[in-house]
Amino acid sequence: MLLREIAHARAGDKGNIVTISLVAYRQEDYRLLEERVTASRVSKHFAGIVDRPVVRYALPGLSALNFVLTRPKDQSVTHSLALDAHGKCLGTAILAMEIQAVEPG
């Protein structure tokens, strides 16, 4: 299943730091996000963009995960002429990540 089926994302950036929040639509899906969307998986998903490991923060009270990505300084949002094509695009990109669904039991 694609993450977009069970969650939505919010993202933003300042300089070369991008934060992406992944929020479960339903509280009962949060555990699946927590188990399957690790910092390591997100680092691999954005391998061509980040230059160091992704950091993940769990926010169980909000049924959300927050990821902090660091890009190379020369790919900083402040060095780009593109309009709003940074953090928000990465928020959409994480929703294309595929995870294994829980098997009905």
3-state secondary structure of 5: helix
Q: In b/e form, how buried is each residue of 85-96, taking b as 16+ CB within 10 angstroms?
A: ebbbebbeebbe
- Confirm if 93 and 4 have CB atoms less than 8 A apart: no
Q: Which residues of the chain have pLDDT under 50?
A: 83-85
Reported as a single tens digit per residue, the pLDDT across 41-67 is: 999 999 988 899 999 999 999 999 999
For the segment(s) 3-94, the CATH number from 3.30.1370, 3.30.70, 1.10.1060, 3.40.50 is 3.30.70
Specify the pTM: 0.82
